[in-house]
Structure 1
Amino acid sequence: MDRSSPAPSFWRSPLGLVCTLAAVAASVYLWVAHKEHVLALLPYVFLAACPLMHRIMHRGHHGHRQRNPRPADRRVPRDG
């Protein structure tokens, strides 16, 4: 067994496939049986997505805090 290979993705595992199929089945049921309710909640889903996307997008650069601040610029004096 090669230990340097990355771990398999959760979504490609049997449990991941079952979770995906369950989510699809629940989505189809909600759309067929409760279409009016789903459409009524749609604006709130967009409003809730704004702060969630903000949190997700800031994950890449650890928010607004800096772990290693830049050292002061060392400027080379110009001749002239």
Structure 2
Amino acid sequence: MAVIKYYGAIAEAVKCSEEQMAVADLNISDCMALLKEKYNLHALEVSIALNQNLVEMDSTIKLTDSDEIALLPPFAGG
């Protein structure tokens, strides 16, 4: 099971900060489609980090059970 972590407004929308998810045969794009549907995240702007590295939402990188996927809200500049 991979660990999915949620931050900021995304954590508020899904009502948790972390969960585990079976990711066998999924890539980043598939995983994001499932999470957006499960939590109705279609309207939120989301960045994704895979094992602490930012990746594209439509990435075809295959996921493994040891992965950590973080859904990040937009970054504020200053």
TM-score between both structures, scaled by the size of structure 2: 0.19
Structure with the larger strand share: 2
Higher gyration radius (CA): 1
Structure with the larger helix share: 1
